[in-house]
Amino acid sequence: MTAEHVDRVATVEGTEHVVVPSPIGELTVVAEGGSITHLLMDAAKYRPDDDTLGRPGDPAAEPFASAALQLGQYFAGERTEFDLPLAPRGDEFHQKVWALLREIPYGETRSYGDLARALGDRNLAQAVGTANGRNPIAVVVPCHRVIGADGSLVGYAGGLDRKRFLLSLEEPPADEVGRLF
């Protein structure tokens, strides 16, 4: 599957979407067959055309109701992990990168090089960056937790202001930093 296929949301029977409000703007949750295929920020770099998102879904139906609930809990600082049925579309390499993203703990970051080394080849950092940028399930698959080797905020399809917001949201309270217990 090529990168251009990754960006598209197939308009097939059963593809539905709902819009969920959030502090970083509206999030469009796209699902097919009971699994989330996309979680899209408004005005994100690789957002597909709205006419490819399928028909409007029932916000009270699954997996939309769980996604809205868990996103609300996350943004309220009450949830550090998501438990949603996910079915991101991408080639084998993208899937490996997105799986690594899901392993980055809440409140922690990794560099593109860290992920490349985890894949067994430190020279894959740029390819990891491309796969990270094409993550179709933002926030839930935490691509915002990937930073530059020098600790700088680089590359985020939703914009660096959103990345900064998400990372700040996940920072421990100042009185807990350095605490052992």
- The residue type found at 55 is R
Q: How would you write the pLDDT of the chain (181 residues) with one tens digit per residue?
A: 333 333 444 445 689 999 999 999 999 999 999 999 999 998 877 888 888 899 999 999 999 999 999 999 999 999 999 999 999 999 999 999 999 999 999 999 999 999 999 999 999 999 999 999 999 999 999 999 999 999 999 989 899 999 999 999 999 776 655 554 4
Which residues have a Cβ under 8 Å from the Cβ of 111 and sit 6 or more positions away?
125, 146, 147, 148, 149
Q: Are domains 3-75 and 92-172 of this chain identical in fold?
A: no
Please state the pTM of the whole predicted model.
0.88
Quick one: tokens of 67? 């996604």
Active site residue 163: no
In degrees and rounded to multiples of 5, residue 157 shows phi and psi of: -60, -25
The CATH code that applies to domain 3-75 is: 3.30.160.70
| Domains in the chain: boundaries | 3-75, 92-172
Beta bridge partners of 51: none
- The highest-level CATH class for domain 92-172 is mainly alpha
pLDDT at 9: 46
- Which residue is catalytic, options 101, 143, 147, 157? 143
Question: Could you tell me where the DSSP H helices lie in 26-85?
Answer: 64-75
